């Protein structure tokens, strides 16, 4: 998909699709629709990091590429730990039954910032060369 549409477009698509899936998950009313939307949410969750890794490898100078991949790789477990801690702190209010509101609104805030930031990414030079 990155070769057909470009890396930046794929990152924007993943961000928009992920945002829509979060909204659908927050409004799901039964376990079947929840599981179906969660399954669909795995598409951008798997495609986004791969597209970002390809994008970074094509745009970074060679002397900074290793440092950036180390940073990129380290942010995944750090982000998981921070999100787990945030959920643990916020879900102390679990007794009210608004757990979906907290978890999904926090997810929408972060993915929306990422999607908006993708609008200012330069187009990959490799994609420009091979695009007809």
Higher pLDDT, 101 or 42: 42
Mean pLDDT estimate for the chain:
77
Nearest to 22 by CA among 93, 113, 83, 112: 112
More confident of the two residues 131 and 57: 57
Q: What percent of the chain has pLDDT over 90?
A: 1
Better-predicted residue by pLDDT, 93 or 69: 69
Q: Which domains does the chain have, with CATH numbers?
A: 2-130 (1.20.1250.20)
Residue 66 burial (CB count, 10 A): 10
Model confidence, pTM: 0.70
Distances (CA, A) of 67 to 63, 70, 73, 89, 104: 8, 5, 10, 32, 32
Tell me if 91 sits within 8 A of 6, measured CB to CB: no
């Amino acid at each position: 998909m990155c070769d057909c549409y470009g890396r930046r477009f794929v990152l924007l698509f993943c961000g928009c699709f992920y945002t829509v899936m979060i909204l659908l998950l927050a409004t799901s009313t039964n376990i079947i629709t929840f599981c179906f939307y969660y399954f669909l949410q795995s598409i951008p969750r798997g495609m986004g990091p791969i597209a970002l890794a390809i994008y970074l490898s094509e745009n970074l100078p060679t002397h900074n590429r290793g440092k950036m991949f180390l940073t990129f790789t380290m942010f995944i477990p750090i982000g998981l730990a921070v999100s787990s801690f945030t959920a643990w702190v916020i879900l102390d209010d679990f007794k009210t039954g608004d757990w979906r509101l907290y978890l999904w609104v926090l997810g929408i805030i972060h993915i929306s910032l990422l999607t908006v930031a993708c609008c200012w990414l330069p187009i990959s030079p490799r994609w420009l060369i091979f695009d007809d």
